Amino acid sequence: MITETVEQPQEEISQPPSSFSSLPNDITENILARVSRWKYPLLSLVSKSFRSLVSSMQIYKTRSQIGSQERCFYLCLELINHPYPSWFSLWTKPNQTLTNEEGTTTGFNKDSCGNSVVPIHFASSHSPHIINRSILRVGSEIYIIGGTREEPSVSVRILDCRSHTWHDAPSMIVARENALADFMDEKIYVVGGCDIDEYSANWVELFDMKTQSWTALPGPGADEAELRNLLRGGCNYCKIAASEGKLYISVDEKEYAYEPEDGTWKRVNEKSSFSFDSTLPVSHMIENVIYRCNSSGELMWFDSKSKGRE
C-alpha cells in the first residue's frame, strides 16, 4: 500500500487595510489640502487628528503652495431676538457653474444649485455687532473697525476665516464709527467717522500690516470744508476705492483723490466714476459676481457679465 501525504493548504493571513491614521501627518495634511474646504466640517467629524489638521494654519499654507485655494462668501445678519450677529458662509461646489437652458451663466438665484450655505459657530468668543461699523476683507481675514453711533470706538476686531476665531488688532488712534476703510499696498486706510476739528492730524489713519501699528495722516484742509463735513457721516454718504496707489472717495456725486505719499486731497471729477446707492440691499462683488442679501434674508447672486437678471 502506498500512502500519500497530502499537505493541508495554508490559510492566507490577511493584512489589515491601511488607513489615514497609519500615514505620517505631513502626508495626510498634503492629501487633505487637496480636498475642497466645503468638506472640512464633515472631515472634522472623522477623528480628533482630522479635526486638528483641517483647523490648523499649516494646512492653509499648504493649500496656498499647491494652488488649492478657494473663494468663499461670508454673510453676517443682525437677526431679531438674537443677542449676537449670525454668520454664514456660502460654499460653491468645485467645478460647478450656474447655467441656464441657453448655456450662459444665470442671474440672481435664490436656490442652492449645488451651493451650500453653512452657519458658522465660534467656539472662543462672540461676533461684535456690525451695524455702523466699517467692515473690510484683507486676504483670509475680515476686519470689523470702530464702534457704533452711540459708542464710537478705537477697537478693531479680526475674524480669521480659516479657523473661524476672533482676535483683536492694535487699537486706532481716534475713536470712530461708520468710517470708510480700504486696503492698498499692505496697508489699511481708515477715513472719517469721527467728529474732530479741521486742524486735527488724525482724520485719516493708516495701519501697516507688517509693523502692526497705526499712523496718523493729514485730512482735508480748511479749503475742503464740504468734503470734511461729508466725511463725518462715514459710509452712509460716501464710497471709497483704492486704485493705482491712490484712494478715491465719492462724496455727494463728486470724486476726490487722496495721495498717501504727500497727504494731499484733490477733486478729480464733478461726477463720480463709481456709483453708490444707499437704498440698495447689502451687496458685494467677487470675480464679476454680485452677491446680495435682501431685507427678507434671501441670499442671491448675479453675474455682472450676463445680459439680464433673474
Whichever domain contains 226, its CATH number is 2.120.10.80
Same domain as 138, residue 27: no
Does residue 71 belong to any structural domain of this protein? Answer: no
Q: Which residue has the higher pLDDT, 5 or 107?
A: 5
Same domain as 157, residue 45: no
Q: List the 238-243 sheet strands across, edge first.
A: 238-243, 246-251, 254-259, 264-269
Top mean-pLDDT range of 54-63, 175-184, 193-202: 175-184
- In 3-state terms, what secondary structure has residue 152? coil
Same domain as 179, residue 55: no
Does residue 296 belong to any structural domain of this protein? Answer: no
Q: What is the pLDDT of residue 221?
A: 67
Q: Please, which pLDDT band fits residue 144 given cuts at 50, 70 and 90?
A: very high
Same domain as 256, residue 149: yes
Same domain as 236, residue 163: yes
Specify the residue for cell string 455687532. Answer: 129
Same domain as 150, residue 35: no
Same domain as 161, residue 256: yes
User: 144 is in which domain, residue-wise?
Assistant: 124-278
Interatomic CA distance for residues 286 and 49, integer angstroms: 33
Does residue 46 belong to any structural domain of this protein? Answer: yes
What would the DSSP string read from start to end of 27-93? Answer: HHHHHHTTS-GGGHHHHTTT-HHHHHHHTSHHHHHHHHHTT-----EEEEE--TT-SS-EEEEEEEP
Same domain as 156, residue 36: no
Same domain as 207, residue 139: yes
Specify the length of the chain in residues.
Answer: 310
Q: What is the pLDDT of residue 13?
A: 55
Does residue 253 belong to any structural domain of this protein? Answer: yes
Q: Please, which pLDDT band fits residue 103 given cuts at 50, 70 and 90?
A: very low
Given a cut of 80, is residue 142 above it in pLDDT? yes
Q: What percent of the chain has pLDDT over 90?
A: 11
Interatomic CA distance for residues 257 and 233, integer angstroms: 18
The backbone region for 194, taken as left when phi is positive above 0, alpha when psi lies in -120 to 50, beta otherwise, is beta
Does residue 3 belong to any structural domain of this protein? Answer: no
60 φ, ψ (degrees, to nearest 5): -80, -30
Mean pLDDT of 231-236: 58
Element housing 181 (H / E): strand 180-184
User: Helices 25-32 & 57-65, crossing angle to 10 degrees?
Assistant: 60
Count of domains for the chain = 2
Same domain as 273, residue 138: yes
Query: Tell me, what amino acid is at 306?
Result: S
